[in-house]
Chains A and B, each alone.
Chain A
Amino acid sequence: MYTVSALWATLIATDGHWFETKVDINGVTYGQDQLMSLSVDLRMFAEQQPSVGGCLAGEINLSMLAPSVSIPRMASIDPYVRVCAGVQQSEWIPQGKYYIDTREITKNDDNLNILTLHGFDSMLKSEAGYPSTSHSWPYTDINVVNEIATTMGVGVDSRTTDLMTNAYQIGLPAGMTMREALGNIAAMYAGNFVMSYDGELLLIAANGIPPETNYLVDAVGDAITFGGDRILV
């Protein structure tokens, strides 16, 4: 779970709370007054069942009133969300970093230009040959991941580093794309790579969900809190 503030936790537990959305496209912010629909598709398995060794790209679908400024090809799309209750508003938290793949402009019933964008996250940047290196091989798995991340221009989520503690030695990924190399490394840990909300490489083990916790909930499943804290039973 993305780390949020105490205010976020308080507001989301408040009856009548709602969420607001904004999108940064190529550095220009667009609010809900211009957004018509927005959704992201994320997945951890390449197949419709548990599988490992994949590098899964997230997708974004966005429709908005066509802005007056031109949007460059492959421009970035960074969605954000915050929780609101009454007059209070939380911080914005990121919901990923995407890049435009296709675009389309149509007219709606009011004869307004509607811009529809579809994009992928940075995982597609790994669809390139492994970069030439000057160090010797074999190389430790986490170093290979860092090398790929640097080439992709992204960071590595700390949870990836926490998981990759076996220090497997990797041979030269000759003839492989970075995505293939990442997938093979993910398989070593029975996991898959995705991009986090911060746009960093995140390795998730197939059995990586935290141990089950049982909180006291009400009839609709909301956690019953005591002074703001959930009650573990």
Chain B
Amino acid sequence: MSNTFVNVPVGKQAQNMDISPQFQPYSGVEIIVNEDESIFVGDRSGRVLSITNPWGSRQQAEDIYSSLTSTGFQYQPYTATSALLNPAAEIGDGVTLNGFYSGIYKMTRNFNSLMSADIEAPQDEEVDHEYPFEPKQDRIFRRQIEDAQAQISLTQSEIAAKVSTTGGNNSSFGWSLLSDKFSLYAGNKEVFKCTSSGVEIQGKIIALSGTIGGFNIGASSIYNGMTSINSTSSGVYVGTNGIAVGGGNFKVTSGGSVSAKNMTLTGTLNIGGTNITAAALRSGAQSAYNNSSTWSTGSGYGYNYNRATQNGTTSYPSYFTVGSFTCNSIRASSINFGGRRLSIGSIPNGSGGYWQVVMWS
């Protein structure tokens, strides 16, 4: 059989009894959740049960209030020494003392042949004045407290008004806190907007750290994957000392050095005044041209069967004049020497064919 709380009669069987006036009934429950939050149920016409509990809730306060008020519980303080109390009596049991009813809330049990006990419903508070008098100093102190509370309440109401509306001047600087976004305005423009989707900013941003679009922001670089210009990890690095991508496959330093694993140019590459194009390598008056499958070079001129370049100007003459030069072979339809022409011709050979002959005219 389970133990139960019961009313244990003691009657007058105690050495001393001191019965104090019963407390007022509880009329309210206050749960202090933390320094900033408390929950109150009921009113303050009677006693208020104050509870400190970080797990407190309004439901708990209502449950406790209902329990206290439905039973009409009133705390009955008393002290009884050397009471002849049944040893089976426990803390939490009721006790009847000379016509008064209370609980066993504190007990010192002496294991003698009588098993006497000092039992108590303790009280440690000032006398419950029925005709209260408030000294002058108390009145001044209470008034100061009330003034301070009123000022705090006023401040809270002002804060509440501000955070629920818009303010400022949108042409210079304004703001609004709405149910779906917080915005800042300047120059009649929304320069900052914070919504559930994120933050949008129009204007200058200074960020010394953090990430943006997956890129890390450093004091002198932004990067993704590559943490330095010489990193071999894949990614991108853009810093004050240069730019690199692909773990160094392409790199440009702040000193102007470029390195690339592979490079394709469709225009002109100039190296110290030397241009490289798809068809020619040219430095000043020196040129080299790609003639289909072979390169033709010369001193002072570039040669091709029908193209010449001199001093950067390309022409397509039917003939052109050169100074002295040395070469292994010349291909030409004719060559002029001091106004006389040396060319290749042909004369019939009498057998239906032709002979090739050198003609001087």
A residues in contact (CB < 8 Å) with B: 1-4, 8, 12, 18-21, 35, 37-45, 47-50, 52-53, 79, 81, 83, 93, 95, 157-159, 166, 168, 170-171, 184-185, 187-190, 194, 196-197, 202, 204-215, 217-223, 230
Hey, which chain A residues are within 8 Å of B68, CB to CB?
Answer: 190, 207
Is B144 part of the contact surface with A, judged by Cβ < 8 Å?
A: no
Q: Is the CB of B67 within 8 A of A205?
A: yes
Q: Is the CB of B103 within 8 A of A187?
A: no
B48-76 to A contact mask, C-beta < 8 Å, 1/0: 01011111110110011001100101010
Q: Is the CB of B91 within 8 A of A187?
A: no
19 sample A-B contacts, Cβ–Cβ < 8 Å, listed by A number: A1-B5, A1-B86, A3-B3, A19-B87, A39-B110, A42-B106, A44-B91, A49-B122, A50-B75, A188-B60, A194-B91, A196-B3, A207-B67, A208-B103, A209-B5, A209-B92, A209-B93, A211-B71, A215-B96
Hey, which chain A residues are within 8 Å of B113, CB to CB?
Answer: 18-20
Residue of A nearest to B125 (CB): A49
A95-B87, A221-B11 given; A53·B94 CB < 8 A: no
Is B241 part of the contact surface with A, judged by Cβ < 8 Å?
A: no
CB proximity of B122 to chain A, nearest CB, Å: 4
Most buried by B among A79, A81, A93, A185: A81
Q: How large is the interface on B (under 10, 10 to 19, 20 to 34, 35 or more residues)?
A: 35 or more
From B23, B53, B89, A188 is in contact (CB under 8 Å) with B53
A190-B49, A196-B90 given; A3·B2 CB < 8 A: yes
A48, B87: Cα distance in complex, Å: 24
Hey, which chain A residues are within 8 Å of B109, CB to CB?
Answer: 39-40, 42, 95
Q: Is the CB of B53 within 8 A of A184?
A: yes
Hey, which chain B residues are within 8 Å of A209, CB to CB?
Answer: 5, 7, 92-94, 102-103
B residues in contact (CB < 8 Å) with A: 1-13, 23, 26, 29, 31, 49, 51-57, 59-60, 63-64, 67-68, 71, 73, 75, 86-94, 96, 98, 101-103, 105-115, 122-125
Residue of B nearest to A218 (CB): B11
CB proximity of A178 to chain B, nearest CB, Å: 14
From A18, A187, A215, B53 is in contact (CB under 8 Å) with A187
A38-B111, A49-B124, A52-B49 given; A2·B9 CB < 8 A: no
Hey, which chain A residues are within 8 Å of B105, CB to CB?
Answer: 43-45, 50
Q: Is the CB of B53 within 8 A of A44?
A: no
Q: Is the CB of B12 within 8 A of A220?
A: yes
A125, B6: Cα distance in complex, Å: 29
Residue of B nearest to A166 (CB): B63
A194-B91, A221-B9 given; A35·B86 CB < 8 A: no
A2-B88, A39-B108 given; A212·B49 CB < 8 A: no
Q: Is the CB of B108 within 8 A of A45?
A: no
A170, B87: Cα distance in complex, Å: 37
Q: Is the CB of B55 within 8 A of A1?
A: no
CB proximity of A53 to chain B, nearest CB, Å: 6
Residue of A nearest to B71 (CB): A207
A159-B2, A184-B55, A187-B53 given; A19·B89 CB < 8 A: no
Q: Is the CB of B110 within 8 A of A44?
A: no
Hey, which chain A residues are within 8 Å of B108, CB to CB?
Answer: 39-42
A53, B56: Cα distance in complex, Å: 11
Hey, which chain B residues are within 8 Å of A41, CB to CB?
Answer: 107-108
Q: Is the CB of B3 within 8 A of A157?
A: yes
Hey, which chain B residues are within 8 Å of A158, CB to CB?
Answer: 2-3
Q: Is the CB of B90 within 8 A of A43?
A: no
Q: Is the CB of A21 within 8 A of B111?
A: yes
A19, B243: Cα distance in complex, Å: 95
A221, B6: Cα distance in complex, Å: 17
A209, B122: Cα distance in complex, Å: 15
Hey, which chain A residues are within 8 Å of B12, CB to CB?
Answer: 219-221
Q: Is the CB of B55 within 8 A of A159?
A: no
A53, B30: Cα distance in complex, Å: 13
A195, B310: Cα distance in complex, Å: 112
Q: Is the CB of A2 within 8 A of B52?
A: no
Hey, which chain A residues are within 8 Å of B110, CB to CB?
Answer: 37-39
Hey, which chain A residues are within 8 Å of B96, CB to CB?
Answer: 212-215, 221
Residue of A nearest to B53 (CB): A187
Hey, which chain A residues are within 8 Å of B90, CB to CB?
Answer: 1-2, 196-197
A109, B27: Cα distance in complex, Å: 58
Residue of A nearest to B105 (CB): A44
Hey, which chain B residues are within 8 Å of A215, CB to CB?
Answer: 9, 96
A44, B121: Cα distance in complex, Å: 9
Q: Is the CB of A187 within 8 A of B52?
A: yes
A73, B36: Cα distance in complex, Å: 45
From B54, B59, B71, A184 is in contact (CB under 8 Å) with B54
A38, B108: Cα distance in complex, Å: 10
Residue of A nearest to B11 (CB): A221
Q: Is the CB of A187 within 8 A of B5?
A: no
A168, B92: Cα distance in complex, Å: 23
Residue of A nearest to B69 (CB): A207
Q: Is the CB of A222 within 8 A of B51?
A: no
A24, B289: Cα distance in complex, Å: 114
Q: Is the CB of A187 within 8 A of B51?
A: yes
A190-B68, A207-B67, A209-B92 given; A79·B111 CB < 8 A: yes
